[in-house]
Amino acid sequence: MTHIIAIAFPKGGAGKSVSAVSLAAISADRGLKTLLIDFDPIGVSSSNSGLDKYSDLSASKLLADSRPKVSSLIQPSPFGYDVIVAGEGLLSGEKWMDTVPMGDLEIRAQLEEDESLQQYDVIYLDSPPHNGKILSGVLIAATHVISPLKADNENAQVLPLFINLSSSVNRIRTRFNMDAFTQLSYVFTDVDERTNITAEIKKSVRESLDPGAVAETVIPHSTAVKQAGQNMMPVVHFKPKEKPSIAYNRFFDEVLQPLFFGPQRKATSHESVAIA
Ligand SMILES: Nc1ncnc2c1ncn2[C@@H]1O[C@H](COP(=O)(O)OP(=O)(O)OP(=O)(O)O)[C@@H](O)[C@H]1O
Ligand SMILES: [Mg+2]
């Protein structure tokens, strides 16, 4: 079964693209057949995957009358996972979604119609920073959602709007006989542990969500993240021993490992004896 994981939060600079690329690279490192589709017009996920974000083979081609098969747009990245880059026309694609009946269902329909995508264990969908048809289309297509957010006031203020959007999307899904998506977790990114404001906001966000909705793992701030971007690489490959790389691996273990591989088993006493 292919898990389709949206990386979504309607605020710029929340850490969506860095998270999408890091999780795609880690998934491939762990042996999962992985595809990343960049639905963010800025194309950070595409370039951080070592690819030309303006390539003709792009996600923007999916949001137009003459749309090709999804799989015809896939390119291999140098980091073990496949990518469909953003392309130049995603914003016009979003306008096109407004002109077709039930345009929000378009991304889901195209992913479902292309049987060759079933070879993937996981497809990550990076998303734009604004509320619009692409974001709702990505949420309708997803089986699971991960929401990176920065521990600042602006992100905390957007959180209730995103929760509303998520429940509207899930109401629509239920009406069309689709399962609701699972909000896997919120994860704090680019965290500077030295400032009190961060700790206060983390506490208030945790209190406004279900217990367990916020990942225990936080992604610390490090200049290595920007440097990795300048080198068109996922940080987890550029500097695997840096704090954000270790944290993204820990986040994978905490939140995604159980989804793909089941809960980690502790050795039974019988096995422990055998190992000893
Ligand atoms: N852990 C981190 N340490 C340092 N810088 C970070 C970290 N995470 C993200 N950043 C920086 O923050 C900025 C925003 O990150 P990113 O592009 O992932 O956010 P985004 O949510 O995808 O933004 P947008 O919605 O505008 O596409 C980038 O410049 C990135 O390099
Ligand atoms: Mg982005």
Indicate which CATH number applies to the domain containing 194. Answer: 3.40.50.300
- Checking if the pLDDT of 271 tops 60, the result is no
Helix 223-230 vs helix 243-251: crossing angle, to nearest 10? 90
Q: Which residue from 17, 149, 235 has its CB within 8 A of the most atoms of ligand 1, so it is best to mutate?
A: 17
How many structural domains compose the chain?
1
Tokens of 36: 């990343």
Contact criterion met (CB below 8 Å) for 49 and 55:
no
Q: Which domain holds residue 171?
A: 3-275
- Average of per-residue pLDDT across 79-106: 95
Rounded CA-CA distance 153/134 in Å is: 25
Residue nearest to atom 16 of ligand 1 (CA): 15
Alpha helices in 30-152 (DSSP H): 44-48, 90-99, 106-113, 133-141
> Can you give the pTM of this predicted structure?
0.94
Residue nearest to atom 14 of ligand 1 (CA): 13
- Site residues for ligand 1, CB cut-off 6 Å: 12-18, 40, 42, 44, 129, 189-190, 219, 221-222, 225-226, 229, 244
> Could you tell me which of 2, 8, 28 has the C-alpha nearest to residue 236?
28
Nearest atom, ligand 1, residue 42 CA: 27
What is the 221 CA–ligand 1 centroid distance (Å)? 10
Structure confidence at residue 106 as a pLDDT band (50, 70, 90): very high
- Checking if the pLDDT of 266 tops 60, the result is no
Ligand minimally distant from the alpha carbon of residue 248 = 1
- Average of per-residue pLDDT across 239-266: 91
Pick the range with the lowest mean pLDDT from 12-21, 73-82, 267-276: 267-276
Helix 133-141 vs helix 106-113: crossing angle, to nearest 10? 40
Rounded CA-CA distance 13/67 in Å is: 30
Structure confidence at residue 265 as a pLDDT band (50, 70, 90): low
